[in-house]
Amino acid sequence: MRERLLRAADAVNVLDEEMASVRDEIMDAQNSNRQRANVISDILNNIENLYQVANEREVNKIQKEFFQIYQQDDIGILKRFSKQLDIIAETYRVQSVLNSIK
């Protein structure tokens, strides 16, 4: 009886470790999806704002590039694109302010 209880306790321990591993994988996937959604949201907000200050042709080109990057499903590439878009958007904002001052 004692041996069976020890084997059962070992089995419970192995199951507990496996469940903890599965939970960690689920948490990692959720965090990754949340991070991706935030980056995409930032990109889309920048594109929307660019329609107010940039010419439509250029914004359409940016949108097309975003769609191609989006289809690759690579968070690293999305982050780099988002940073580049931040720079472009900031440049247009500065130009807009300078033009309003003139």
For the chain, the domain total comes to 1
pLDDT given for residue 21 in this prediction? 97
The type of residue at 90 is: E
Domain that holds residue 24: 2-101
Specify the pLDDT at position 73. 87
The one-letter code for the residue type at 22 is V
Plot region of 54 (φ>0 → left; ψ -120 to 50 → alpha; else → beta): beta
Q: What's the rounded Cα separation, in Å, for the pair 63 and 66?
A: 5
**What is the 8-class DSSP label of residue 1?**
-
pTM for this prediction: 0.75
pLDDT less than 50: residues of the chain: none
Burial class for 16, CB neighbours closer than 10 Å (0-12, 13-18, 19+): exposed
